[in-house]
Amino acid sequence: MILSRLAARPILLVAGLFLALVLPWMIYPPVAMDIACWALFACALDLLLGFTGLLSFGHAAFWGGGAYVAGLVAVHSGLPFPVAVLAGAAFAAVLAVPIGYLSVRLRGIYFAMVTLAFAQMVYFLVNQWRDLTGGENGLQGVPRELFGLDLSDSFVYYYVALPLVLAGFVAVWRIVRSPFGRVLMSIRDNTARAQALGYPVDRYKLLAFVLSACLSGLAGGLFAIGHGFASLESVYWTTSGQAVMMVVLGGIGTLWGGVLGAALVVELNDYLVTAGFEGIGIVTGTIFVLIVLVFRRGIWGTARHLLETRSGGRGASPGDRPPGGAPDGSPAPTEGVGSPV
């Protein structure tokens, strides 16, 4: 049992890494890059939704903020693209401080609404500040510069950008597994008890919010550099919605679920766009409704749950459950979509 538990994780990790490496051989490289960026974004959101129990509906502000700042730095300074992307991530983190400070005091639907409101304010600013952002034309002509390397081929860019994406995943993984991550989970499961134990709950939530925003900004920056522009759409609320949908689809609180959800949504969208089918919304909407009604743990969560019940153990979890410490057998607190709200 213990052996299999130890063995399961490296196998998954190696498989994931392998997939990440061969992805642009299997599908069109720009689409592969989109999947990588959205996967990181979904993971970052899952950090908040699945592990802290906060449903943010305003993460477009950080994804889009990162995209615009990365784009602006690349356009105006001509610095190598990783610098621009990191600047985008830093901006997202800084932006998250006041927004998070004001929102984390709220719970459930109120938290979601306040983050949405802040994100819409950012959208309005980006739309109005035309001299800087290009308004609804978007910020066009963002260069991809890295010490004179020719990155115009998306295939090459994917591999150059992949380390940054992977670094983002490692960061999420580390956060979740750290003592800090444990405290987040205890806040998610029982805020009052965490407070009674003496943890400054709001400060923990704020830090989780900022970290999640920072990683979303990183993903957004990579996305903007990859496409060569930042668009108004990236700060619009539909972008927040899409990320939430990816997490729910894949499975809240599973990390892998976000990746899977992102891959599915991006790939499905890409397929339907070319297939000439008009009702893209109908297809994705139906899938979403089915998942929420039938597989409330999401695809990854359901698969893991099935494996767990079949092996009969009390939660021999091969996935991302933190090993040791926490009582493994406790029912997954993130079963339903509704629970974190």
Partner 1 sequence: MKALGRAAVAVVAAGATIAGCAGGPGGGGAGEKVSDGKVVLAVLNDQSAVYADLSGKSSVEAVNMAVADYKAKYGDKAVAKEIEVLSADHQNKPEVANSKAQELYDRQKADLILDVPSSAAALAVAGVAKAKKRLFMDIGAATTALTGAQCNKYTFHYGYNTYMLAHGTGDTVTKDGAKNWYIVYPDYAFGQDMQKNFTAAVTGAGGKVIQSDPAPFPNDNFSTFLLKAPGLDPKPEVLGTMQAGGDLVNLVKQYNEYKLRDKGIGLAVGLMFITDIHSLGADALAGTKFTDAWYWNASPENRAWADKFQAKAGKRPSFPNAANYSAATQYLEAVQRAGTDDPDAIVKQLEGHSFEDAFAHNATIRAQDHLLLHDVYLAQVKPASEVTEPWDYEKILKTIPAAEAFQPTPDSACKL
The helix (run of H) or strand (run of E) holding residue 301 is: helix 298-311
* Interaxial angle between packed helices 2-26 and 29-49, expressed in degrees from 0 to 180 and rounded to the nearest 10: 140
- Residue span binding partner 1 (CB under 8 A) among the ranges 73-81, 227-235, 296-304, 326-334: 227-235
Minimum distance, C-beta of residue 60 to partner 1, in the bound complex (Å)? 13
- Residue span binding partner 1 (CB under 8 A) among the ranges 10-18, 123-131, 183-191, 315-323: 123-131
Q: From the centroid of its chain, how far is CA 193? A: 28
Minimum distance, C-beta of residue 166 to partner 1, in the bound complex (Å)? 22
C-alpha distance from residue 312 to each of 20, 142, 177, 219, 303 (Å): 32, 53, 25, 39, 14
- Binding of partner 1 by 243 (CB under 8 A): no
Minimum distance, C-beta of residue 228 to partner 1, in the bound complex (Å)? 6
- Binding of partner 1 by 227 (CB under 8 A): yes
Among residues 166, 280, 287, 316, which is the contact residue for partner 1, using CB under 8 A?
280
Cβ-Cβ contacts under 8 Å for 286 (sequence gap 6 or more): none
35 or 96: CB nearest partner 1: 35
Among residues 23, 31, 99, 235, which is the contact residue for partner 1, using CB under 8 A?
31
C-alpha 332/C-alpha 321 separation (Å) is 10
Cβ-Cβ contacts under 8 Å for 103 (sequence gap 6 or more): 56, 111, 114, 115, 118, 209
Q: DSSP code of 234?
A: G
Size of the site for partner 1 (CB under 8 A): 34
- Residue span binding partner 1 (CB under 8 A) among the ranges 111-119, 179-187, 273-281, 322-330: 273-281
Binding site for partner 1 (CB under 8 A): 28, 30-31, 34, 127-128, 130, 134-138, 140-141, 152, 154, 223, 227-229, 231-234, 269-270, 272-274, 276, 278-281
